[in-house]
A and B are shown apart, each in its own frame.
Chain A
Amino acid sequence: ADEGGPRGRRVLVLVDDLAVRSSHSAFFASLQGRGFDLDFRLADDPKLSLHRYGQYLYDGLVLFAPSTPRFGGSVDQNSILEFIDAGHDMILAADSSASDLIRGIATECGVDFDEDPEAMVIDHINYAATDAEGDHTLIAGDDLIQSDVILGSKKIEAPVLFRGIGHAVNPSNSLVLKVLSASPSAYSANPKSKLASPPSLTGSAISLVSVMQARNNARVLISGSLDLFSNRFLKSGVQKAGSKIRHEKAGNEQFVTETSKWVFHERGHLKAVNVKHNKVGETNEPGMYRINDDLEYSVEIYEWSGTSWKPYVADDVQVQFYMMSPYVLKTLSTDKKGVFSTSFKVPDVYGVFQFKVEYQRLGYTGLSLSKQIPVRPYRHNEYERFITSAYPYYAASFSTMGAFFIFSFVYLYHK
């Protein structure tokens, strides 16, 4: 049941071992509970295919097959990327056995896993207390992104358990966000061998879980740990090393539920409809404005709540009246029912303008509306017919004409 939502509910789950289906059943159950159709397939299933007859068979992809060297059927790295570029979403989980294929897909999405295949994220301070005797690779991460849209409005209190590989994202890449970052004391190295050289990835530059929202609003979640989604991590209690507080349940369940909601567009999806503009006092949309016209602009923006479209409420939506640079920049006021509107005067410049709304907010899908509208100068008969300050000149010319007439008359007929 789509109910006009932004995304369909057919999700392909690719695993490299069908055991994952049971070991991660809690996560899958939460997806199914939200109405998703999960289709579990082995990653090397020879009949695997993402589309048939030019139509995609799935709306989302959960890629829980970190070690698979190649996919079966017609699927390969490019077809996964095309799947994303066609506007579909993906959850990708890797772990220390991550294959080049998985790393390649992650790289294409802007996430660079540590190149050392043996490396894992190690944190000698913020590890989970249960891992006290181990090599401190079970990390209790609590450096979460501050975004209600991505993580839900309810704060995740308990640390999130993580065991896996770290990755880095390019800070200049505006599409990728670090959702769960490592603590400053973390580093990425092979836990079984001594460090020969300084690790390449250290501190909070390491991202444990990242999300990417592509320009076409396809969303991808990339986690360095497959265990993060496992029943074991979801159910276990957690105590951070050095901390007195012991949580009965790790934050994992809430974390994976909320992030998967975001990834599959159950939250944070905006749509804009009914872009309208007209002259003040009129209702029809003109094909062209004149300079110095007063106009009204309105747009309706709704947010998908998971079940229905709700009016979006914000006070920072702006419209530009744009011709190579914005001539007018106005904040739209909302009536809390989804309609954002404003009115302004067309500048005293003619040309081909655009109404532009560029609304990019953390976690939300980007809104990028533009509507072209030419602005013409005055017509020849729209200027003032008589100018007050020119009356002396009118008088001068008419008196000259009169005087000339009289002069001619006198000259010609005076005797």
Chain B
Amino acid sequence: MAEPESSTAAAGGSRLRNACGGVLCAFTLLLIGVLAFSIRLFSVIKYESVIHEFDPYFNFRVTQFLSKNGIYEFWNWFDDRTWYPLGRVIGGTVYPGLTLTAGTIWWLLNSLNIPLSVETVCVFTAPIFSANASWATYLLTKEAKGTGAGLMAAAILAMVPSYISRSVAGSYDNEAVAIFALIFTFYLYVKTLNTGSLFYATLNALSYFYMVCSWGGYTFIINLIPIHVLLCIVTGRYSSRLYIAYAPLVILGTLLAALVPVVGFNAVMTSEHFASFLVFIILHVVALVYYIKGLLTPRLFKVAMTLVITVGLAVCFAVIAILIALVASSPTKGWSGRSLSLLDPTYASKYIPIIASVSEHQPPTWPSYFMDINVLAFLIPAGIISCFLPLSDASSFVVLYLVTAVYFSGVMVRLMLVLAPAACILSGIALSEAFDVLTRSVKYQLSKLFDDSPAASGDSSAESSSASTVSTNSAKNETRPEKTETAPKEKPSKKNRKKEKEVAESVPVKPKKEKKLLVLPMEASVLGILLLIVLGGFYVVHCVWAAAEAYSAPSIVLTSRSRDGLHVFDDFREAYAWLSHNTDVDDKVASWWDYGYQTTAMANRTVIVDNNTWNNTHIATVGTAMSSPEKAAWEIFNSLDVKYVLVVFGGLVGYPSDDINKFLWMVRIGGGVFPHIKEPDYLRDGNYRVDAQGTPTMLNCLMYKLCYYRFVETDGKGFDRVRGYEIGKKHFKLTHFEEVFTTHHWMVRIYKLKPQKNRVRGKLKKLKSGSKASSTNAAGRKKNPWQ
């Protein structure tokens, strides 16, 4: 990150230096944006420009619909191809932010006669917004700790693995734009807090609106900001700026949030939002107290104080009582399952299997912290310390953000994503402060070395003559926060932020004296700088590795490298293409919900359940069918007009996230609604086993049969490479289903429901016709390609 500073500022005024710094800063930001964008292109280069995973396929399909039919059709879209036969009101149940963003980009490009396909735009939306997010991080950190820290944080965020995991090219998901919106909202909040400008407050509400449009994680904002406001009030930092930063956000933000169909009245009805209203009331009480304090003499004030406190407390209690009554009267106590699992990490796995079944809703393991934020984990404490030197409204906000994000990331691995920006900001601050201290020491020592009277030569020349790193930017801007420490009492009275800026520029002398106290020995400083650069180097290496290897796999195309070269497993698209070419347009395909979005998007066939998981009963019905014997399953599927059943099977090639490994959730979710499915029936010694020790129920259920039908023909033993043992029941026939397609590596198998028998046989035993079962044609049999 080293940028040599031009030495033009020797005699020139600080204005020229500022201009150069500004240009340099802008140039650096541009490079950071390019870095953020390009580090996410590994997936396109290594694989292809394709939409990744599951949810992005839905978003892509919605975007296609939007670009084809326009916004009003999208708003009113009733989708009859998912959740058959219930259908889904897409317009009212989707966070439209991402779709509208990509749709707008596509529309803009097309009206400029740049004919990009919708898919291309969708693929590259996430990298574009990652660049935006790093710029937003720069802004936020700059508000908290100055330009240097801002640039550092932006650079770190541009390549933090945790964020890359959700925003590589093709990962077209809500989080891609939501993280930008999140950081930008925080920036505007802090900006409003620093300036007290109603303009920024309004922008803040709009930015919050964009966040609400984009992601359900907006509740994080609407809880974190009230907590910070409360913190400011409690620590005696109430000011009119705080009021301006918060009150418009609550009012405008809530009104705007209620405009998003998926949120609607939830914005005022669910308890995730109640904290903001409570703090809103408290803020007004406090404002009233300060107002009265200004009016009255201290003696009168004391009298009034007691009065106000009694009245205020009474009002508070009344409001709290009303809130509690409201919460208690709503069916889920006002808390949605996902939010409850945030507060009580064990809640979901205890009560809501459908939430617990998603791996990204599980608590993270320790290694995932090192994987996802790497060295930042060590820099964060230093960043916290430097935020306390001095503690401003902005830096306290950053610390608060970090603390809450750490907690939430510990609850749900998916929320690691929220932690990443906080970690980057604090690490940026820490690194920048460290560089600042070290380079200043070096500079000080150097100037002492060359010139025995450094004080006489003046601060400015010493500063400008140094060849230093980023800290040249930071050191200059460093002055402002330190100034705020010296004059925190004055600031509230200043409404004009320009005046503040002037002050910031005219500060140089006073803090310099303090800085001299922090001078370190020359050797230690140089060594420190080198170590920090090495640390940063490790981080960059790790990030590039993570971006290239760990997080760029699109998961619909898999690769494996073995001695004989690279193997590509393109079975999913093979299966979906088969479906779209060989089945009727209105045919219904049943599969576990994971594959619902892909089936509708890629095969364009109606599915029974998909990744939206809004109807637990419907999912439980499919789960029950999968865990039932063939005949019962056939009846369930037939009642849903299902024509084809799709299962994902990894046993042949060792693909671990297949349906047998997901089977426990089918049993649990199915059993949660239909009690005749009992989990112990499938368990042998507490384990799901499909080998010879598997229970009869397990070995007779539909999922087992559809996965392992004819599996023994591949190697003669039926050795399952995922489970690592031979399967329990090898030779069996299907009575109610027939295999219609199995992909090249057997990863996706598609079965058709046999029609009801044309005739019903009599009871008599067949006398002599022993083995005349129609044999499947030998040509259609597939052998294990690896044998």
Contacts and interface: CB of A to CB of B under 8 A. Distances in A.
Nearest to B640: A324
Nearest to A290: B78
Contact of A215 (B85, B89, B756): B756
Given A107-B764, A379-B76, A352 B759 contact: no
Contacts of A216: 758
A157 B75 CA distance: 71
A110 B772 contact: no
Contact of B760 (A84, A113, A173): A173
Q: Does more than half of chain B's interface fall in helix, strand or loop, or is it mixed?
A: loop
A112 B763 contact: yes
Contacts of B767: 100, 104
B539 interface: no
Nearest to B261: A380
Contact of A377 (B89, B761, B762, B768): B89
Contact of B768 (A100, A106, A108, A175): A100
Closest 7 pairs between A and B when the two form their complex, measured CB to CB: A376-B78, A374-B80, A107-B762, A112-B762, A352-B85, A379-B76, A173-B760
Interface of B: 72, 75-76, 78, 80, 84-87, 89, 91, 586, 606, 639-640, 756-764, 766-769, 772
Contacts, number: 89
Contact of A374 (B87, B757, B759, B764): B87
Given A350-B78, A350-B87, A104 B769 contact: yes
A362 interface: no
A307 interface: no
B637 to A, nearest CB: 13
Contact of A288 (B80, B758, B763): B80
Contacts of A169: 762
B85 A108 contact: no
A176 interface: yes
Interface of A: 77-78, 81, 84-85, 100, 103-104, 106-113, 115, 169-170, 173-176, 212, 214-216, 218, 288, 323-324, 350-354, 372, 374, 376-377, 379-380
A324 B766 contact: no
Nearest to A76: B772
Contact of A106 (B758, B762, B769): B762
B759 A108 contact: yes
B262 to A, nearest CB: 13
Contacts of A81: 759
Nearest to A85: B758
A380 B78 contact: no
Contact of A175 (B639, B759, B763, B764): B759
Nearest to A353: B85
A84 B72 CA distance: 54
Nearest to B756: A215
Given A78-B772, A352-B87, A372-B586, A112 B759 contact: no
A403 to B, nearest CB: 16
B87 A212 contact: no
A270 to B, nearest CB: 18
A21 B68 CA distance: 70
A109 to B, nearest CB: 6
Given A214-B758, A351-B85, A353-B85, A112 B764 contact: yes
26 contacts: A77-B769, A104-B767, A107-B764, A108-B759, A108-B761, A108-B762, A109-B762, A110-B760, A113-B764, A169-B762, A170-B760, A170-B763, A215-B757, A288-B78, A323-B85, A350-B78, A350-B87, A351-B85, A351-B87, A352-B87, A352-B606, A374-B87, A376-B80, A377-B89, A379-B76, A380-B75
Given A85-B758, A108-B759, A108-B762, A324 B87 contact: no
Nearest to B91: A380
A289 to B, nearest CB: 11
B87 A218 contact: no
Given A81-B759, A214-B759, A351-B87, 10 more contacts: A84-B759, A107-B761, A169-B762, A170-B760, A173-B762, A215-B758, A324-B639, A324-B640, A354-B85, A380-B72
Given A103-B764, A104-B767, A112-B763, A374 B758 contact: no
Nearest to B757: A215
A352 B80 contact: yes
A87 to B, nearest CB: 9
Nearest to A176: B760
B75 to A, nearest CB: 6
Contact of B762 (A84, A110, A288): A110
The interface centre, meaning the residue of A103, A113, A216, A377 with most chain B CB atoms within 10 A of its CB, is A377
B380 to A, nearest CB: 45
A169 B761 CA distance: 10
B399 to A, nearest CB: 37
Given A372-B586, A380-B75, A175 B760 contact: yes
Contact of B86 (A100, A214, A351, A380): A351
B770 to A, nearest CB: 13
Contacts of A174: 760
B577 to A, nearest CB: 24
A367 B75 CA distance: 40
A288 B606 CA distance: 16
A191 to B, nearest CB: 22
Contacts of B78: 288, 350, 374, 376-377
A352 B84 contact: yes
Nearest to B772: A78
A256 to B, nearest CB: 23
Contacts of B763: 112, 170
Contacts of A110: 759-762
Nearest to B76: A379
Contacts of A215: 756-759
Nearest to A216: B758
Contacts of A350: 78, 87, 89
Contacts of B772: 78
